[in-house]
Structure 1
Amino acid sequence: MADAANSPAIPIVDFQNWINGSIAERRQIAKELTEACRRVGFVYIVNHGVPDSLLQQSFDWSKRLFDLPQEKKMLAPHPPGPYVHRGYSWPGLEKVSQYIHKEGDDAGAADAELRKVTDCKQESYEIGSEELQSQPNVWLPDEVLPGFRDFMTAFYWKCFEASKDLLSALALGIGLDDDQFFVPYHNGHGNQLRLLHYPPVETEKLSSKAVARMPAHSDWGTITLLFQDECGGLQVEHPNNPGTFMDATPVKNALVMNVGDLLMRWSNDYLKSTLHRVTVPPMDSSRAGTMPQMTRARYSIPYFVSPNPDAVIECIPQCAGPGNPPKYEPVKQDDYRRMRAKLQY
């Protein structure tokens, strides 16, 4: 298993032989993937099934979207509140954190404290299945960005196909008799495609902590597939040094996969949901010697894979035993999603 340059603890797993490989080749891929998820919680996947040309088109569409005038983007606004997560999120709307709302907490006080530092993620656009009535998509009018809706809908389902291969490999790597164990829990309608744009920001504001890119957090679903541009900025908590972070240096045409909270609960902590953050990207070389100093713009596209809303996540029997009882109570996906989203919007 090779390692990514400058990120010695984040392995690279090649899925080239997953579809048509021998049983032994599939087991080896599953073993490498699961070991990476146990040790780090993050892994680079190459030959993942999403064509390079399609990825390039997806980033081209994302840039065209975020280059639109603000009044055009606001024709597809993210609905108010935390329960419908679709459409365009404008600067300052979303606040990412690791805070989890509990009954009895003063949510207003917690929200005010978190928002003292503004996230500079700035802009995102959320897309889901057209068939999930509880999370209706919010699309731009077709005449604003012709072809955008059709492309992103097709791209959403192409990412889902890739995610099913990863879920099957994880089941095999865990040692389950059925490598399709996770797949029936994921019909694709509970997933989320997010287009992200981190505009240039003054480096002085970042260093003074007046603003933040995206603070350390874990993802709450099953797995996340991340496609990132060459800019960089993603950091992952070091597996052997909690509280310190290492760069997830972009690997051309690879996706970065990470374990989410629900998969960690399913596996009784056998697989690791790791904290990660987005920090200062490289300086904009075209502005060298000018003030104020600015970072480069960054684009990324995460695809969040989650169980069906009514799925109940409980400890897999093979992941518990004498001396290792289940660590988490069963939870329904939609209930956990709502809990994690309580203070995000």
Structure 2
Amino acid sequence: MASAPISESAIPVVDFAKWAAGGPSRLQIAQDIVAACKRVGFVYIVNHSLPEHQIDEAFKWSLRFFDLPQEEKLKAPHPEGWAVHRGYSWPGLEKVSQAISADNDQERAQQLREVPDIKESYDIGSDENSTQPNQWIPDEALPGFRQFMTQFYWDCFRVGGEILQALAVGMGLENEDHLLKKHSGHNGQLRLLNYPPVPAEALETERAARCPAHTDWSSITLLFQDDCGGLEVEDVTSPGKFVPATPIKNAIVMNVGDLLQRWSNDHLRSTSHRVTLPPLSDRFEGKQRMTRRRFSIPYFLSPDPDSVIACISSCMGSNEPPKYEPITQAGYNQMRASMQY
């Protein structure tokens, strides 16, 4: 069996080891991933082709970056406004939400920011993306950082491409590259995330947040997380209830993004998720019950900006018309990003 037995609300685990070998196992892996995406929208993928030492090294580089003095990190600041999503975002700059557009709702945008997100991030993309230019810190500030992260970005894209192919096979599409061909790799986003320690009471009383409930804008997201915990996924059997996405060493937590849900006419589920308190009391430290520092690294695999996302023909029929109008990736991104910064 490629996947472990699961309940309706649990996140399945799929072993990807035999994907490259082909044969019957390949089809079973693809079908298991699609089943998870239909039911839960999330899946742990283990034994993928990213080596353990490379994932460990990515977290080590992330620690080194966030341990730099603030003045060094600010040499690569997130550009002002929402249009460019690159560089260093300091705590409080970004506000994650499900709101669609701030064009005519400045009051709503201000209300969202009354509860700040206590995290900092650094966003990286393709150096060939001229509309989303990278904001690199000087090489002398952290020698080797840019070289490693550039390679890791493209290795994540390679693995993400394999998963998109598996999704196409599992959905019964004739061309396994049907989804992948709209992704050149130049419009992805690699994000390093640091959640500093914060008093548990501040999160419990909602005076602060780590990352509020939201869905992702991408086709799919690949997430690497440390052992701290705190990621939660909405229980599809009980809306408003969240279940922990317990860390599994070296596993990729893959989830469906909004664009793939639109693309599949809601056959695949883009599920709300959040980062909050770690699930166990021993995750707190000291009398003030400070949360442990948490690191995670998501990679957002997005179509190219001018790609038109229209309903896949196999996901509609005479009794199931398309639920969404066609939209470009750039158009959808604009609706979401304008509320975030």
Contact 2:311 2:326 in 1 (8 A): yes
| Partner AA of 2:37 in structure 1 | C
- Report the 3-state secondary structure (helix = DSSP H, G, I; strand = E; otherwise coil) of the residue aligned with 2:324: coil
The answer for the alignment partner of 1:74 in structure 2 is 74
CA distance in 2, matches of 1:116, 1:218: 21
The answer for the alignment partner of 2:195 in structure 1 is 198
CA separation of 1:7 and 1:127: change in aligned 2, threshold 3 A: farther
The answer for the alignment partner of 1:100 in structure 2 is 100
Contact 1:3 1:10 in 2 (8 A): no
| Partner AA of 1:2 in structure 2 | A
| Partner AA of 1:12 in structure 2 | V
| Partner AA of 1:295 in structure 2 | T
CA distance in 2, matches of 1:282, 1:145: 34
Contact 2:8 2:40 in 1 (8 A): no
Q: Is 1:44 the counterpart of 2:44 in the alignment?
A: yes
CA separation of 1:55 and 1:203: change in aligned 2, threshold 3 A: same
Contact 2:13 2:43 in 1 (8 A): yes
Percent identity reads: 57
Where does 1:1-345 land on structure 2 (aligned, <5 Å)? 1-2=3-4, 9-22=10-23, 24-101=24-101, 106-120=104-118, 122-281=119-278, 288=285, 290-345=286-341
- Over 3 Å off, 4+ runs: 282-288
CA distance in 1, matches of 2:304, 2:101: 22
CA distance in 2, matches of 1:283, 1:236: 17
Quote the offset at 1:3 in angstroms.
Answer: 5.2
Contact 1:3 1:9 in 2 (8 A): no
Quote the offset at 1:213 in angstroms.
Answer: 1.2
Where does the alignment leave 5 or more consecutive residues of structure 2 unmatched?
Answer: none
CA distance in 2, matches of 1:337, 1:107: 17
Q: Please give the TM-score of this superposition, normalised by the length of structure 1.
A: 0.95
Quote the offset at 1:21 in angstroms.
Answer: 2.9
Per-residue CA deviation, residues 197-223 of structure 1 (Å, 9 max, x unaligned), is: 000001111111100111110001100
Contact 1:284 1:295 in 2 (8 A): no
CA separation of 1:282 and 1:294: change in aligned 2, threshold 3 A: farther
- Report the 3-state secondary structure (helix = DSSP H, G, I; strand = E; otherwise coil) of the residue aligned with 2:12: strand
Quote the offset at 1:106 in angstroms.
Answer: 2.8
| Partner AA of 2:108 in structure 1 | A
Contact 2:284 2:291 in 1 (8 A): no
CA distance in 1, matches of 2:117, 2:66: 17
CA distance in 2, matches of 1:344, 1:50: 31
CA separation of 1:209 and 1:52: change in aligned 2, threshold 3 A: same
CA distance in 2, matches of 1:7, 1:116: 35
CA separation of 1:173 and 1:285: change in aligned 2, threshold 3 A: closer
Per-residue CA deviation, residues 102-146 of structure 1 (Å, 9 max, x unaligned), is: 7xx6331111110111111x2000000000000000000000000
- Report the 3-state secondary structure (helix = DSSP H, G, I; strand = E; otherwise coil) of the residue aligned with 2:213: strand
CA distance in 1, matches of 2:293, 2:284: 13
| Partner AA of 1:83 in structure 2 | A
Contact 1:15 1:45 in 2 (8 A): yes
Where does the alignment leave 5 or more consecutive residues of structure 1 unmatched?
Answer: none
| Partner AA of 2:289 in structure 1 | Q
| Partner AA of 1:280 in structure 2 | L
Q: Please give the TM-score of this superposition, normalised by the length of structure 2.
A: 0.96
Q: Size of the alignment, in residue pairs?
A: 339
Contact 2:200 2:284 in 1 (8 A): no
Contact 1:225 1:257 in 2 (8 A): yes
